[in-house]
Copies of this chain bind each other. A is one copy, B any other.
Amino acid sequence: MSVAESVTELASGPVIGVFDSGFGGLTVLRALVERMPQARFVFLGDTARLPYGSKSQRTIARYAAESARFLVEEQRAEFLVIACNTASALALDAIEAAVPVPVLGVIEPGAEAAAAHTKTGNVMVIATEATVASHAYAAACGRRGVRAVEKACPLLVPLVEEGWTDHPVTAEVVRIYLAELLEAARHAGLQPDALVLGCTHYPLLRGVIERSVPEGVTVIDSAEATAAEAARRLATRVRGVACETVEPAAGPQIRCFATDSVAKFERLGSRFLGHPVGVVELVDLGG
């Protein structure tokens, strides 16, 4: 690295790579930007190969490792956030083996937030089929002495992508899913007091979901928990930069890449990110 490059990098904060199979992970990026407005972000959505949720562990691990290498080797990310529950559940080891930088998935921070919150020691998790089949949340909660009951909710992602985030059909689907989940919890003799949103699309349904949960059950967003943990780990570098050298930028510094379907990413992404995603660059990872 030249002196000029090194100065630029110091002056503009760390480069944080954020990876998802699609663009749902933009909800995690949104939370990261809110916590670390001085950092620079490079987001990759592996849209050519989504959804990971219906694929095998071997395939998911290969795709995720290729994507992580792109962010680190070509985009010089110094810290990786895996903003995809499926990849976090099934491919975190493969990603860590593929790149020489710290890697943070969304499962552990979500489980940590749930464990910090629950008083009964019982929580509920809603997620995609693949995440639930992996039982990654139940295992992560179990390591913290918390029992989790999980449920796959495969209709919620398509409802979000249809834009029906505040629609009677979505409210009815959420009601049905949560009734089944509460029944399963009761059947297992559990009294859950928290519901973890274990999919990056679900924060867009937070309003509908909060109106459906029983009193005394708190909704916990893995995206927010992950952003908080990333900010904690990067605290010294981000704070150092913020205090010493940098004026707050006019807007967040975000560069977005997708492996396919750039138009859909640009069209839908802004709902997830909370502001326009701008130009999305196409990248070919093969496959």
Contacts and interface: CB of A to CB of B under 8 A. Distances in A.
A261 B172 contact: no
The winner among A49, A56, A157 for most chain B CB atoms within 10 A is A56
A158 B154 contact: yes
A261 B164 CA distance: 29
Nearest to A262: B56
Contacts of A169: 169, 172-173, 176
A28 to B, nearest CB: 20
B162 A56 contact: no
Contacts of A245: none
Interface residues of A, number: 27
Interface string A49-63: 111001110010000
A235 interface: no
A287 B66 CA distance: 12
9 nearest interchain CB pairs? A287-B287, A158-B158, A55-B260, A56-B260, A155-B158, A54-B261, A59-B260, A154-B162, A48-B59
Interface of A: 47-51, 54-56, 59, 154-155, 157-159, 161-162, 164, 168-169, 172-173, 176, 260-261, 264, 286-287
